Amino acid sequence: MAPRVSPTETIRAQIHELFADGGELLSVIEQVARLSVRLTFQGVIEEIVCEELGRSRYERRGADSPEGYRNGWQQPRTIKTALGPVEVQRPKLRHAHAALCDRLFGQGVTRTNALETLVISCWVRGLSDRDVEAMLVEVFGQDATISRTTASRICQRLRAEFDTWCRRDLSGTRIDYLYLDGSFFKMHPKARAEPVLVAWGIDTDGKPCFLGLAPGAAESTDAWRGLLADLTDRGLGAPLLVISDGGKGLGAAIECSFPASLHQRCLVHVCRNLTAKVPAHAQGEVKRDYWAIFDQIQAEGEAAVAEARRRAARFITKWKPLYPSAVACVADNLDALVAHLLFPAEHRKRIRHSNLIERTFGETRRRVKVIGRLPGEQSCLSLVWAVLERASKGWRGLTMTPKALRRLQDLRRELLAQPPGHNSNEEVVAETVTTAA
């Protein structure tokens, strides 16, 4: 390097040379991208040094300028980034500013947050520590490798993020629909699989939100009440509808925690219970008749519920003589099976089952397979949280049309006795009605 040419000027010259050489365009763009990252790092370093010394390169120190001066460059430092390894020049500073370089290039400054985030993302999506190490070498080369031990240490950040998430304030989150479900994992030595209890919802704007997660020795009333109490203590209000499977402990917890909310039994769970009590040759027809109770109902509100009850009566009359125990799955739970029909028609197919969270639990179990065993409860919870938190970013919400908003507001007044103006969507509906008039 020429003594009077700064590292940033050298990098800019290398970028110009790449474009001038006329190489393959994609290859040139990739190299320029990496040089641009290096240029950004180096430019920031030089700006920090100028600000710390109070003067630019080759500028004389004024009478009231800080003490200290530049003294050339040290050996370059390689920083591992999401675009591969980047080499930056380290300035030598004398006197009062020597500690600046220690802060910029200390022993711990070897990789960027973006690369650490990439490592965590790969790990959460099912790659083992060994796979993460191999992936980085394959993509970025040997200089960008991160050992299995380092990958494991980086992923410890998940615990801190999980702890922060568990304590966050929920008073600003208002939900219409609350989904509750659990999945079993082995999290304690010499113990059977135990449930991880999960709550997620759809807010008043139609957006999905991951709300809570907690361990439980069993899916008991006390375990579920503990999770729901934690949510309400942090400010979560009562939903209009709670969707869950048919666990008695969960049902009792919902009734105790949200007595004014409606409860919808997952239709998919009931269908499985129903067909499990029917011979194989009749399962197809019984299943078709079961779903015909709830599908293609054009009526709204109480009229929709009345129509479903009429269809259910025909279903019971047809199949009860042959399969009474199977039909009891519908007859004994009919109130909880038709609750979703009180809600907007465009929401019904999404709020009548809890399949979304079950599919996501499948991803979590796939992730656990590559670990072999979970070291303990905290590791299990942080891993389940990490998978669900990232999966929740891809969950689809619900469309809130003016008609749907009006229906939800009517239910809110009827069930929760909330005054007008409680929900921000009130203004949207009022404006829509005024415009239509």
The pLDDT score that the predictor gives to residue 148 is 59
What value does the mean pLDDT take over residues 143-168? Answer: 72
- Report the chain's mean pLDDT, rounded to a whole number: 78
- Evaluate if residue 428 carries a pLDDT over 50: no
Say if residue 371 is exposed, middle or buried (CB neighbours under 10 Å; 0-12, 13-18, 19+): middle
For residue 24, which amino acid is it? E
The structure tokens listed for 294 are 């709830």
356-389 residue pLDDT tens: 777 777 666 666 665 555 556 777 787 778 778 8
For residue 207, which amino acid is it? K
Winning range, highest mean pLDDT, from 8-17, 245-254, 257-266, 420-429 = 257-266
Tokens 């909310």 correspond to 261
416 contacts: CB under 8 Å, gap ≥ 6? 238, 240, 260, 261
Instruction: List beta partners, residue 88.
Output: 77
Question: What Å distances lie between residue 84 and 34, 114, 155, CA to CA?
Answer: 8, 11, 19
For residue 213, which amino acid is it? L
φ, ψ dihedrals at 317, nearest 5°: -60, -40
Q: Are 388 and 364 in contact (CB under 8 A)?
A: yes
Q: Please report which confidence band the pLDDT of residue 109 belongs to, taking 50, 70 and 90 as the band edges.
A: very low
Question: What Å distances lie between residue 295 and 102, 291, 317, 348, CA to CA?
Answer: 67, 6, 19, 9
Q: How far apart (Å, rounded) are the C-alpha atoms in residues 271 and 253?
A: 23
Q: Count the neighbouring beta carbons within 10 Å of the beta carbon of residue 267.
A: 22
Q: Are 198 and 187 in contact (CB under 8 A)?
A: no
Angle (CA) 401 402 406, round 5°: 115
The pLDDT score that the predictor gives to residue 4 is 66
Instruction: List beta partners, residue 199.
Output: 180, 212
- Evaluate if residue 319 carries a pLDDT over 90: yes
How many Å is the Cα radius of gyration of the chain?
Answer: 30
- Evaluate if residue 168 carries a pLDDT over 70: yes
What value does the mean pLDDT take over residues 304-321? Answer: 95
The pLDDT score that the predictor gives to residue 66 is 64
Q: How far apart (Å, rounded) are the C-alpha atoms in residues 317 and 312?
A: 9
Question: What Å distances lie between residue 90 and 36, 54, 100, 433, 434, CA to CA?
Answer: 17, 18, 11, 65, 65
| 2 Rama sector, left if φ>0, alpha if ψ -120 to 50, beta otherwise | beta
Q: How far apart (Å, rounded) are the C-alpha atoms in residues 291 and 330?
A: 11
41-79 residue pLDDT tens: 677 777 777 777 767 766 676 666 666 666 667 667 666
Mean pLDDT is lowest, of 152-161, 184-193, 378-387, for: 152-161
Q: In this predicted model, which residue has the larger pLDDT, 82 or 275?
A: 275
Q: How far apart (Å, rounded) are the C-alpha atoms in residues 214 and 224?
A: 9
Question: What Å distances lie between residue 299 and 165, 264, 342, 429, CA to CA?
Answer: 41, 19, 10, 22
Looking at the chain, how many residues does it have? 437
| 269 Rama sector, left if φ>0, alpha if ψ -120 to 50, beta otherwise | alpha
